[in-house]
Amino acid sequence: MSTNAVITLDALPPTTHTKPISSQKWSSHFAFVMAAVGSAVGLGNIWKFPYMTGTSGGGAFVLVYLACVAMIGLPILIAEVTIGRAGGASPMGALRNLAAKYRASRHWQIVGLVGALTALLVLSFYSVVAGWALAYVPVAATGKLAGISGAASETIFNTILADPVGQIGWHTAFMATTVLIVSRGIGGGIERAVTWLMPMLAVLLVLLVAYAAAQGAFLDGAAFLFAPDFSALGTEAVLSAAGHAFFTLSVGLGAMIAYGGYLPEGVSIPRTAITIAALDTLCALAAGLAIFPLVFAHGLDPAGGPGLVFVTLPVAFGGMPGGDLFGALFFILLGIAAVTSAVALLEPIVATMVERGFRRSSCATMLGLLCWAIGLASVFSFNVWSDVRIAGDERTIFDWLNLLTSDILLPLGGIAIALFVGWAMPLRALGGEIDLGPRWLRAWRALVRYIAPAAVAMVLVSALMGAAA
Ligand code: PFF
């Protein structure tokens, strides 16, 4: 038994290194909920959910997505937070601690390692898309959106994409902010940002829905979102819905394990998880209700892809009184919502390295630089490398990073996390962390033990076989 993998894992430092991390706690239950909501609500809700709904045919996708959030995402969110609080460390450390405690294989910590690599890849393109939001702040503030048509809005977006230097500037600003926050340690900064700014974003979203209801083709938009046409739904779309359920709740790569590590005893994990999932879902649906009525009213293409929100909402801001101000504010808040998610992507990796004795600020800076460099590939996907195809199909490098993480790595990570709590942790230990009655606890365990892993694995395999055929 002396394979390389075993030697490497044996050489890891002892678990006592985890103490300094878990001794740092959220200042209150509310603070944890806000930080977790901050991590969940981000570009996934406002940028990705609407465009995926658009490319996947609408209502049927939304329905499958909602089912996946409730039946797969939520149980796995509970699982991640539980691992974090019970293991009291970074994702790798928590899995290692718990595996040792319950005599399971130490190889479970590989799940934490793969999660960290996934987080790096997600953060690399997440930062680029957040950069697009920031690029719109000066555009809106200087009145350039006033009265624009759908076509003019498309031109503005395409101009942003065509300019690698500008995009790199915004991508750099965004990544630097994320690094700065993580360097200082989570807590104060994130808590405050999320407590004040996320509700403001929610208010603006409601305002946009009201505008779409008054000025857009509201019934067409709502019908597109909520009237399911299952004939339009293929296996790949089902996989995307499942993958997006992971992405939007920030599960499958260990972020919620890291956040759970800072969660005080006595806070109800299931109740907290339900709150997070509910607020996250409301935000996504509100974004959809704000966007699709405008898409149909302005002759835009619902299947327009990643640019959908950036093309659609400026038309709304351009048409409303005070739109310069609201538009600028909206994109600032979207950037902030993205930062609170980006922090959750970087934190688990940094926490892992801090446990190994590295300085927090050095790790944050080095890892931020690495993500920044990988992010350049996404920037170039829209201009200098727009012709580059890795796999002979339509997809650019950006598309591949998006697909690989959301549709493959997050579902795989989710399956592994579900299996870990379902099989490696005894029911009594779980009952000690999760304050559900015995029946609900068993039902939850059946979900993470059998149903969620089997369902995700089936969808994953059939979609991959379909894609290969
Ligand atoms: N949940 C975030 C969003 O919807 O924008 C993205 C995300 C953050 C995914 C943190 C994963 C993660 F660990």
CATH at residue 105:
1.20.1740.10
Note whether residue 142 is domain-resident.
yes
Are the beta carbons of 348 and 116 closer than 8 angstroms? yes
As given in the structure block, the two tokens for residue 343 are 């922090």
Lowest-confidence pick of 20-29, 143-152, 368-377: 20-29
Determine the structural domain holding residue 134 and report its residue range. 26-468
Return the residue matching tokens 């609170």.
Answer: 340
Q: How far is the CA of 247 from the centre of ligand 1 (A)?
A: 5
Note whether residue 8 is domain-resident.
no
As given in the structure block, the two tokens for residue 401 are 């990073």
Note whether residue 20 is domain-resident.
no
Note whether residue 4 is domain-resident.
no
Identify the band that residue 325 occupies on the pLDDT scale cut at 50, 70 and 90. very high
Residues 312-315: contacts with CB within 8 Å, 24+ apart? 312/150, 312/153, 313/208, 314/136, 314/139, 314/140, 314/145, 314/148, 314/153, 314/156, 315/145, 315/148, 315/149, 315/150, 315/153
Q: What is the mean pLDDT of the chain?
A: 90
Note whether residue 18 is domain-resident.
no
Four-CA torsion 305, 306, 307, 309, nearest 10 degrees: 100
As given in the structure block, the two tokens for residue 120 are 């790096």
Note whether residue 48 is domain-resident.
yes
Q: How far is the CA of 251 from the centre of ligand 1 (A)?
A: 8
> Tens digits of per-residue pLDDT, 280-324?
999 999 999 999 999 999 889 999 999 999 999 999 999 988 999
Q: Which of 74, 345, 412 for mutating ligand 1's site (highest number of atoms within 8 Å of CB)?
A: 345
Sign, CA torsion 98/87/424/453: negative
Number of H helices, E strands in the chain: 24, 0
Total number of domains in the chain: 1
> Tens digits of per-residue pLDDT, 78-95?
999 999 999 988 999 999
Q: How far is the CA of 256 from the centre of ligand 1 (A)?
A: 10
How confident is the model at residue 415, as a pLDDT? 98
As given in the structure block, the two tokens for residue 86 are 């019970």
Residues with CB under 6 A from ligand 1: 39-40, 42-45, 119, 122, 247-248, 250, 253, 255, 341, 344-345
Q: Would you call 321 helix, strand, or coil by DSSP?
A: coil
Which residue has its alpha carbon closest to ligand 1 atom 7? 250
Note whether residue 15 is domain-resident.
no
Q: Ligand 1 atom closest to Cα of 249?
A: 1
Q: Which of 48, 240, 248 for mutating ligand 1's site (highest number of atoms within 8 Å of CB)?
A: 248
How confident is the model at residue 330, as a pLDDT? 93
Which residue has its alpha carbon closest to ligand 1 atom 9? 250
Instruction: Report whether pLDDT(409) > 60.
Output: yes
What are the backbone dihedrals phi and psi of residue 251, each rounded to the nearest 5 degrees, phi first?
A: -115, 160
DSSP state of 64: H
Burial class for 253, CB neighbours closer than 10 Å (0-12, 13-18, 19+): buried
Note whether residue 12 is domain-resident.
no
As given in the structure block, the two tokens for residue 365 are 């800076």
Percent of the chain with pLDDT over 70: 93
- Listed in sequence order, the residues at least 6 apart from 281 whose beta carbon sits closer than 8 Å to its beta carbon are 66, 69
> Tens digits of per-residue pLDDT, 342-398?
999 999 999 899 999 999 999 999 999 999 999 999 999 999 999 999 887 889 999
Residue 364: closest CA among 176, 103, 174: 176
Question: What is the Cα–Cα distance from 345 to 250, expressed in whole angstroms?
Answer: 8
Identify the band that residue 188 occupies on the pLDDT scale cut at 50, 70 and 90. low
Residue 252: closest CA among 17, 68, 396: 68
> Tens digits of per-residue pLDDT, 202-211?
899 999 999 9
As given in the structure block, the two tokens for residue 11 are 């050489």
Percent of the chain with pLDDT over 90: 77
Lowest-confidence pick of 57-61, 136-140, 265-269: 265-269
Q: Which of 201, 334, 341, 346 for mutating ligand 1's site (highest number of atoms within 8 Å of CB)?
A: 341
Which residue has its alpha carbon closest to ligand 1 atom 11? 250
